[in-house]
Amino acid sequence: MTREDFEELVSEALDRIPPELMRLLDNVAVFVEDEPDPSEPELLGLYEGTPLTERGEWYAGALPDRITIYRGPALRMCSSREEVVKETEVTVVHEIAHHFGIDDVRLHALGYG
Q: What is the pLDDT of residues 19-57, one digit of tens each?
A: 998 888 888 999 999 999 999 999 999 999 988 888 888
How far apart CA 71 and CA 42 sit, in angstroms, is 10
Q: Where are the alpha helices (DSSP H) in 16-49?
A: 19-22
pLDDT per residue as tens digits for the range 53-111: 888 887 888 889 999 999 999 999 999 999 999 999 999 999 999 998 988 888 888 87
Whether residue 4 is predicted with pLDDT greater than 80 in this model: the reply is yes
On whether the pTM is more than 0.75, the answer is: yes
